[in-house]
Structures are given as structure tokens and as C-alpha cells.
Amino acid sequence: MSARMRLTLWVTLMVALLSAFVLTAVLVLNRHSLPEDPASYLTSVVLDNAEDVEFDRGRMEWDDLTVYRRGVYCSFYNDEGELLLAADRENTEFAEIPFEANVIRTVMSGDREYYLYDVYVNMTVSGLWIRGVTRTDSSIGITEIILKLTVIILPVILILTFLGAYWISGRTFRPVRRIVETANSINDADDLTDRIGMKRGPKEMKQLADAFDTMFARLEGLFESERQFTSDASHELRTPVAVILAECERAESKKLTKEEYSETIARIEEQGRRMSQLIEELLGLTRMGQGTEKYPLTESDLSEFISMCVEEYIPENDRGISLETDIDSGITAAFNASLISRAVFNFLQNAYKYGRDGGYITVSLRERNGMAELAVADDGIGIAEADLSRIWNRFWQADPSRGAESGSGLGLAMVKGIAELHKGNAEAVSREGEGSTFFLRIPSAAAETDSSC
């Protein structure tokens, strides 16, 4: 049985039990508060009073007499019809009616019907009329009415309870159904883009749906980066593998001179290095997609760290290019040292690669608008405006032949990933033939302190 049906049946059963309990309580209380048959009860109250009439040294003893009991009003008159005692002495509506002993009569007062019963108590001194009055409907069939109403209303209440509980539990469990459907559709169609996307609903269910959506998004990210890695790796490794195989075939022909063998081995080695660099870069990019779990951020002095990275950088071929630094001291930020050194390395490598012979490179670090801004400027070949937005894409190269000796087209994609992981951004400003400046901005510690204050 489904959880929805169980809950519905439980609520309905509880309401049925509660109704039965309340009904029993009402019937029991009713039995004690009002007599079943008002006429016979009226008679018994009046006769009780008649038995209790006493005289004490010529004076009436009123203390034991009852003027009101459970719907019955009693009044006491002398032989002359004068009212001696009543629950409400002002109320004389029945006083005019002539006495008639031991007979139950039905009288009207206003539009209400009453039973009236008189008893005459004959005493030696004088006589006493006791008149009792009660409404004819004071208890008539009240039990029956309650039972009849119960027979009609209880099923209606139970049906409404069942339907209401079924509807509410249906709405409550809808996100669970949606979660199951989404999980199944992901399973069946291999489509990780599907989400529960619950906008409204019970708080706990919304939290559950949101948690699942976050998990689906994370899974999607992981699968996507794995897919990207596999496709990139197979695509990019195809060329060096083909070159290596061709070189091996050539070497196997055994008609090569010693020099040709050395050349072949050198080419195989170069392709091997290229493949190893590519795999390393691809793995770096893939890991970065998994966020700060793999690359935790630590707050420390960024100025010192950048200066150290620039000092340690050894250009592959310096071509007379001069390197200057303009780093503001004391800028701190939360960053991952291995990633930031990677970004500095990529910027410098590009600046040397695409820089002008005998030109210059400037590395600067400033704090602007809560961001630590690293800028690497060169006066090299620059980038065409149309290409500026594409340089951050994986494997994009303006002219692969220009930097083919060491480039893979992954360097800037990695810098962009590094910026995003630090919740910052990367940007390039360039003019073809004049030079480029590459920026990496990450939130500085000063900004974080400001926002947390």
C-alpha cells in the first residue's frame, strides 16, 4: 500500500474514532443533563416536592423544596391561589391557569408548548398547590436527533476527511513522485539536464527537491567534464599518436642512417612530451570543474606570491624581451597557490611566445574595486578584435603554426577556469600588431572583510 493511502486511512480512522468518542460523551452528558421523557420527569419532580413539604411550628420549611431541576420549574401557591415561592417570582405566565390536581396538561405560552402538572398537598393547617412546568421539547428525542444527525453527518465528515487527506497527502508526496520520475528519466534517457524545479510546496519537500536538484547539477557537471575530457583527449592525442606511429614505421624499415634514427627518436620524444603536457593540462581543467574540493583556497599575501612566481619563471627562449614588475605590496586574497602560479605561468609563456623580439613584458598587481587585479602586458603581435572572445575557448589558437612548438590552445581556457574557481574573471585587451594585456581578477581579502562587516 502506498504511503499516501496509509496516511489517508490513518487520518480517516482517527477522525472516525474521535467522532465516536465525542458522540458517546455527548450522549452520556445528555442523559445526565436532561430527562428522556419530560412529562414523567415533571411528575416525579413535583411529587418529590409534595413529599418534602414540612411545617415547623406553623411555618413552612422551604429549604428542602426544589424550585428548579433540569428543565422543570416549580411554584408553590396557597389555597387562595397566592404565589408563595417560585424560581422567578416575576414570571407569572402560568399563575392564571386554574389548578387541576394530578393531571398532565399541555399549555401554550407564546409559541412554545409546555407540560403543566399540579399537585395539592392537604395539610391540617392549610393546603398547598405545587405547580410544575417544563417544556415539551426539553429533551424530546434529543438522543434520537443526535443519532440521526450522526448517521447522516458522520459519513459525510468521514468522506470529506478521506478526500481531504488523500488530496493533501497527494500534494505533499508530489515532489517525491517528481524526484522518482526525474531519477528514472535520467536513468532511461541518460539526460542529466533534467531537474525537479519545485517552485512551491511544503517546506521540507522543497528542501528535498532542491537537494536533489543540486545533486543532479553536480552529477551533470562531473559527467560533462568526464565526457569533455574523453572527447578532447581522443581528439587532441590523435595527431601526436599518428606521428609517433609513422616515425616508428619509418624506423622499422631499417634503411635509415644513424642521423635519421636520431631525428626519428627526437621527433618521437617531442610528440611524447607534447602528449604528456596535453594530458596534464586536460586533467587540470577537468579537476578544476570539480571546484574547490580539489583546489582549496587559502588566504595569504598575493603580492609576495606573484613576485615569487615571476622571479622563478624561466622563459623558453628570451629573444631579448625584458620583463618588468609593478606589484603593489600587501594585497591579500584567498587563492590556490598551484592554480595562480599556473595562470601567471600561462600569461608569461604567451607573452614571451607572442611577444616582439627585443620587446618588453610588464607584470603588475593592483587592488581595484575589491578585486586583486593581475595584468600581464606585452608589445607583441596582438590579437584581432574578432578573435578576442574566442581565445578563452579550449584548443582555440589564432594561428596554430605561430606557437605550435609549445602551445596546445588550452592555456587561456585554464586561466578562465582558474578565475571562475576563485569567483573572479579573466579578460584580454589587445590591438593587432601593437600588443596585448591579459587580466586575472580575484576577490581580495579586503573586499571580503568589508562585505562581512
**Residues in touch with ligand ADP (CB under 6 A):** 346, 350-351, 354, 378, 380-383, 391, 396-398, 403, 407-413, 436
Angle in degrees, CA 297, 298, 304, rounded to 5: 120
Q: How far is the CB of 409 from ligand ADP (least distance, A)?
A: 4
Q: How far is the CB of 404 from ligand ADP (least distance, A)?
A: 8
- Cα–Cα distance, 306 to 341 (Å, whole number): 7
Q: Which is nearer to ligand ADP, 271 or 346 (by Cβ)?
A: 346
Q: How far is the CB of 265 from ligand ADP (least distance, A)?
A: 25
For 201, left (φ over 0), alpha (ψ -120 to 50), or beta? left
Q: Which is nearer to ligand ADP, 38 or 380 (by Cβ)?
A: 380
Strand duo 360-368 + 298-301: pairing: unpaired
Asked if residue 118 lies in contact with residue 130, where contact means CB atoms within 8 angstroms, the answer is yes
Q: Which is nearer to ligand ADP, 52 or 427 (by Cβ)?
A: 427
Q: How far is the CB of 390 from ligand ADP (least distance, A)?
A: 8
* Collapsed DSSP state (helix, strand, coil) of residue 263: helix
Q: Which is nearer to ligand ADP, 344 or 412 (by Cβ)?
A: 412
Instruction: Render 201-213 in DSSP notation, one character per residue.
Output: S-HHHHHHHHHHH
Asked if residue 375 lies in contact with residue 363, where contact means CB atoms within 8 angstroms, the answer is yes
- Cα–Cα distance, 442 to 438 (Å, whole number): 14
Q: Which is nearer to ligand ADP, 324 or 450 (by Cβ)?
A: 324
Q: Which is nearer to ligand ADP, 172 or 349 (by Cβ)?
A: 349
Query: Which residues, in sequence order, are bridge partners of residue 77?
Result: 83, 129
Q: How far is the CB of 350 from ligand ADP (least distance, A)?
A: 3
Q: Which is nearer to ligand ADP, 365 or 381 (by Cβ)?
A: 381
Q: How far is the CB of 294 from ligand ADP (least distance, A)?
A: 21
Q: Which is nearer to ligand ADP, 411 or 424 (by Cβ)?
A: 411
Q: How far is the CB of 377 from ligand ADP (least distance, A)?
A: 9
Eight-state DSSP code of residue 99: P
- Cα–Cα distance, 259 to 370 (Å, whole number): 59
Q: How many Cα neighbours within 13 Å face the side chain of 343?
A: 33
- Cα–Cα distance, 444 to 63 (Å, whole number): 95
- Cα–Cα distance, 119 to 165 (Å, whole number): 59
- Cα–Cα distance, 239 to 189 (Å, whole number): 33
Residues shown for the chain: 453
Q: How far is the CB of 389 from ligand ADP (least distance, A)?
A: 11
